[in-house]
Amino acid sequence: MGCEDAQELIHGYMDGELDLRSQLEIERHIEKCEACAAVYQVQQRVRSAIAHPSLYFQAPAGLDRKIASALRKAERAGRSPLGKSWPKLWRAAGVAAAFAIAAAVIWMAVVLPRRSSEDLIARDVVASHVRSLMPGHLTDVPSSDQHTVKPWFNGRLDFSPPVKDLAAEGFPLVGGRLDYLAQAPVAAAVYRRRQHYINLFMWPESRGGSAKPGPQARQGYNLLHWTGAGMNFWAVSDLNMGELEEFVRLVSS
């Protein structure tokens, strides 16, 4: 099965409308094809988003009986319950539907890909953090001296990541290493808070501007993502969110 056929059948697969053979072919294809797997994940997120309870409301009790009663009275009177206003209401409903469809298309084309991209990076950030905690993977240059770690990065990357000495504030520098995120090499400065390690990932921010730290939690780890001074920052640790936010405040000051 090719990608074009698979993507046409993904909706039917998610709705359980395919025969067993087609269903198995789709599953095998998604397991092997990253592009189609990404399309499948996006469709899952769209389905989850539109199924959120905040988009629905409970009709007042007895509303169905009131509507049925009004329709019966109108039918007995021999007139349409909407009367002459029906064409106008139909046109208004069409305009409203068009706006709703346009909004959905814009959301899927602009907002959803951005969220999906950030979700993938957050997943990779956590995976890189966990991998770094394996013996021998934490640092490439073990040092508590920022004047050792920063020059080490400068000789291996095409950007200069900031490296601060935060030992006096209770976040001693442990060292640094190279990692790979967002399809590019990145700097990872490693800090410690008691027995908790903090990975601070840094790479150039392509969109420019700045954004305040946004908290997330994944797989038992806390993450903070922000941008500033032309850089993209991700801090991740099993440290509690309050202390991780304090670390980010010190890094950003």
pLDDT digits (tens, 9 = 90+) for 176-195: 999 988 778 999 999 999 99
Residue 24 has pLDDT above 80, yes or no: yes
Region 23-45: mean pLDDT is 80
Region 211-233: mean pLDDT is 88
Rounded Cα–Cα distance for residues 241 and 191 (Å): 15
pLDDT at 223: 95
Indicate the average pLDDT of the chain.
80
pLDDT digits (tens, 9 = 90+) for 233-242: 999 999 999 9
Rounded Cα–Cα distance for residues 92 and 192 (Å): 60
pLDDT at 112: 43
pLDDT at 155: 81
| 36 — pLDDT class (breaks 50, 70, 90) | confident
pLDDT at 153: 95
The pLDDT > 70 percentage for the chain reads 76
Between 47 and 103, whose confidence is greater? Answer: 47
pLDDT at 79: 57
- Lowest pLDDT segment from 42-51, 101-110, 116-125, 196-205: 101-110
pLDDT at 104: 54
pLDDT digits (tens, 9 = 90+) for 140-162: 999 999 999 999 998 899 999 99
Domains and CATH numbers, the chain: 3-52 (no CATH), 126-252 (3.30.200.100)
